[in-house]
Structure 1
Amino acid sequence: MAFTKGSGPVSQFLVVSTLIYLYTLLHSVSAVFQGVVEIRGYVGQHVQLPCHNQSPNSEFTFLYLQKIDNNNNVIFVNGIHKSNSVENSIHTMFKNRTMVNETNKTVDLWDLRTSDEGKYECIINYNFTKTSHINLKIMSNYSQPKVVVVRNNSGRSSDTSCTVKIHCFSSGGYPQKMVKWNFTKELNISLRITEVNKSAEQDPGNGLFNISSTIFVNSSGAFNVSCSVGEETSKEIEVCVDNPDPKLPAEFDPTQNIAFGVILILISIVLLCLLIKKIKAPAARGIYSVTATSEEHQEHDMCEVNTPANS
């Protein structure tokens, strides 16, 4: 019973201590999150990385901006030291792409690349040292996707269903996205969709992505389809219509053109021979002999023009 009476103050002390601890912990966590500044920039453009969130109006001894790579290695971007030059310390990947604004305590970074994405920290020394953190996100808009529909000659595989292969492609974007297919149809139309291929290829030179997807669609009727990659959407295409578009060109058959060309050549040879025969035919009647030149003999052989002897 004595224990119960004495537990009141102890419990109150523990509760108060716990609340103070939680407040301190939450305040510390909040300070960490507030210390990270997120900056977004597009490939090829320009951003300004701030280093002034601690004491913007104070004089400093040095200001250093550095990038922390995925292996926690420190890469020096640019900076200012009141006593020493830092020009030779700038990493090659940031040479001629950065400039420090001493008044605003910012670092300008231009000609943005996908490799610039990541964590940065800015260290400023007054009569004490302060460190701020920056998270740089790089983006690049994808090209408008293109949709290609492959179908049989009639546009329908049977009287009751239609099966088509549809391909979507978009390029030059960052970060990596996936293809999203969009369909519009009547309520009584059923679709069965199977994705047979998808890819996301990153260009080793500029880090941009080329995205593609290929699907098979079996439909009970006509429908419209488009695809989206990121914020970009393709034009909508009507698929599996009852009457294929008469303006669509017929399949090209090269053998037909070859046969037509051979026939024209043969007709031209026959006409030429008839013309030569008419020109060379003798005007006189009776028995005669002709002494032909070598050239005339060649024409005679080629066209087989035989002049009959009359008796």
Structure 2
Amino acid sequence: MIRLLLLLASALWPMTSGGTAVHEVRGQVGGAVRLTCRIDNSLPVKAVFFQKKNLSGVYDILVNGFYIHTVTGFLLDEYRNRTRVNRAERSLDFWDLKASDEGYYKCFFIRQDTLRSYDTTFRLTITADYSVPTVTVQECSDRGEGALSCELGCSSFGGYPLANLSWTVSKGGNEVLLQEGGSVNTADKHSGVWNVSQTIRLNCTQPTNVSCSVGGVVSPPLSICGTAVHEVRGHVGGAVRLTCRIDNSLPVKGVFFQKKNLSGVYDILVNGFYSHIVTGFLLDEYRNRTRVNRAERSLDFWDLKASDEGYYKCFFIPQDTLRSYDTTFRLTITADYSVPTVTVQECSDRGEGALSCELGCSSFGGYPLANLSWTVSKGGNEVLLQEGGSVNTADKHSGVWNVSQTIRLNCTQPTNVSCSVGGVVSPPLSICERLWAKHTEKTFFMKEVADTES
């Protein structure tokens, strides 16, 4: 009977007295709305149904409603726990909204005294605010003559509907709006909101502010080319070369490489040259690990430590002026963690084929400090565990980290356990195998005895 009424309501709606007026309703992803039938509440009705228009333009998707008999059994799971009908007000409460809820709806109502149906049409528009976009410098390369070519990324999350990403570039008092193609747009499977990101390359020869906007939300400006930073990557125990960005044919009377201190001042002398020798001013920290190449105006730096990470400047003073020039470097230090080792420190039998095992994991010599995580595989299922309470100690000389952790796991079947630190994964260690075999053998033996006795 209910199916017949639903089909009847869908068939009659073009002939109703509700007109073609569409009532606009706006909702937010995760929020709630109420759709109220435009009908005198004192008018007795025997049925009210809220139905959504399908892709073919027919309002045959039952959202909720009421009749003599309950309609709960006819509701889609999509709406069962997110909608409720108010019989007195002839309204539909709709919550935990998703982007997919956007569309056209009708409230079909059938009066007590007639077979003719009436309706009200709604257009539900869904929105979600994008997060404040983030602009990052992914890489900058020196093009010579004071020019940089920088690869920039912008990303914003959780918005709806899908919006274009645009860039604003400000330099020398001029502002340029860029709308580049090639955005990467991905939708959340549950809510339908969009994540938008894009990478572009910009060339600059002067201080430049860059920002991006998505869905009307604008990022804070990011400055590039003002004090261009040249990225240098080194490895603990390895070597790097910092080369001043200056024409080698330009005569200079002094070049100094200095490191930024904790207060942000470049006053730590690493090495350099001038009319007079500077060796006597060097810290022991750098005396036997650095060398200046006068011809190339470069600094060779070896036996690197984690503490060498930081910002450096090459200050150079030309022969014919008192003005100094500089180049800025950011030295990033890394060290590979050793392959982690997983050990069984102790296991206790909990009965019924169950074990409680204390496991340890340790990895050494890595930088920067990394989290330790565990992977537990049993019965075809794999679980990632990230437990607190790691023990982290730094080597006094090189600054590399040693990371270890102890956890307790319960198992009732063969289980593989591994741990990872800094992307390096240990070989899997099997636990519970012998106990499982012993428990299975015991169970089989008890069954065999029981069969014999019977």
Which of 105, 108, 112 is residue 90 of structure 2 equivalent to? 105
Partner of 1:168: 154
Partners of 1:196 and 1:214 within 8 A in 2: no
Partners of 1:195 and 1:214 within 8 A in 2: no
Instruction: Work out whether 1:228 is the aligned partner of 2:213.
Output: yes
Partners of 1:173 and 1:208 within 8 A in 2: yes
The residue type paired with residue 226 of structure 1 is S
Q: Which runs of 5+ in 2 are unaligned?
A: 1-18, 240-301, 306-396, 398-454
- The Cα offsets for residues 159-181 of structure 1, whole Å up to 9 and x where unpaired, read as 25432221111122211111121
Q: More helix by proportion, 1 or 2?
A: 1
Q: Which whole-Å CA distance do the structure 1 matches of 2:110 and 2:128 have between them?
A: 35
Which of 86, 96, 100 is residue 115 of structure 1 equivalent to? 100
Partner of 1:186: 172
- The Cα offsets for residues 42-84 of structure 1, whole Å up to 9 and x where unpaired, read as 1111111111x13343221111111112133611111111x22
Partner of 1:252: 233
Q: Once the 2 structures are TM-superposed, how far is the Cα of residue 225 of structure 1 from its aligned partner?
A: 0.9
Partner of 1:96: 81
Partner of 1:50: 36
Q: 1:190–1:115: structure 2 CA closer, same or farther, 3 Å change rule?
A: closer
Partner of 1:274: none
Q: Which whole-Å CA distance do the structure 1 matches of 2:203 and 2:215 have between them?
A: 26
Q: Which whole-Å CA distance do the structure 2 matches of 1:135 and 1:77 have between them?
A: 14
The residue type paired with residue 52 of structure 2 is K
Q: Which whole-Å CA distance do the structure 1 matches of 2:179 and 2:92 have between them?
A: 50
Partners of 1:191 and 1:219 within 8 A in 2: no
The root-mean-square deviation of aligned C-alpha atoms, in Å, is 3.0
Q: More strand by proportion, 1 or 2?
A: 2
Task: Give the secondary structure class of the aligned counterpart of 1:88.
Answer: helix
Which of 68, 72, 80 is residue 66 of structure 2 equivalent to? 80
Partners of 1:178 and 1:229 within 8 A in 2: yes
Q: 1:129–1:190: structure 2 CA closer, same or farther, 3 Å change rule?
A: closer
The within-5 A match list for 1:196-211 is 197-211=182-196
Q: Which whole-Å CA distance do the structure 2 matches of 1:44 and 1:178 have between them?
A: 22
Q: 1:196–1:78: structure 2 CA closer, same or farther, 3 Å change rule?
A: closer
Partner of 2:263: none
- The Cα offsets for residues 105-151 of structure 1, whole Å up to 9 and x where unpaired, read as 21001111122111111101123421111111122222221101244
Which of 194, 201, 208 is residue 216 of structure 1 equivalent to? 201
Q: Which whole-Å CA distance do the structure 2 matches of 1:170 and 1:67 have between them?
A: 31
The residue type paired with residue 61 of structure 2 is I
How many residues in Structure 1 have an aligned counterpart in Structure 2? 223
If the length of structure 2 is used for normalisation, what is the TM-score? Answer: 0.44
Q: 1:191–1:139: structure 2 CA closer, same or farther, 3 Å change rule?
A: closer
Q: 1:162–1:223: structure 2 CA closer, same or farther, 3 Å change rule?
A: same
| Larger RCO, structure (CA 8 Å, separation 6 or more) | 1
Q: Once the 2 structures are TM-superposed, how far is the Cα of residue 191 of structure 1 from its aligned partner?
A: 7.3
Task: Give the secondary structure class of the aligned counterpart of 2:126.
Answer: strand
Percent identity reads: 28
Q: Which whole-Å CA distance do the structure 2 matches of 1:63 and 1:73 have between them?
A: 14
Instruction: Work out whether 1:60 is the aligned partner of 2:36.
Output: no
Partners of 1:197 and 1:215 within 8 A in 2: no
Task: Give the secondary structure class of the aligned counterpart of 2:303.
Answer: helix
Q: Which whole-Å CA distance do the structure 1 matches of 2:158 and 2:175 have between them?
A: 34
The within-5 A match list for 1:119-138 is 119-126=104-111, 127=113, 128-138=116-126
Q: 1:151–1:192: structure 2 CA closer, same or farther, 3 Å change rule?
A: farther
Instruction: Work out whether 1:142 is the aligned partner of 2:125.
Output: no
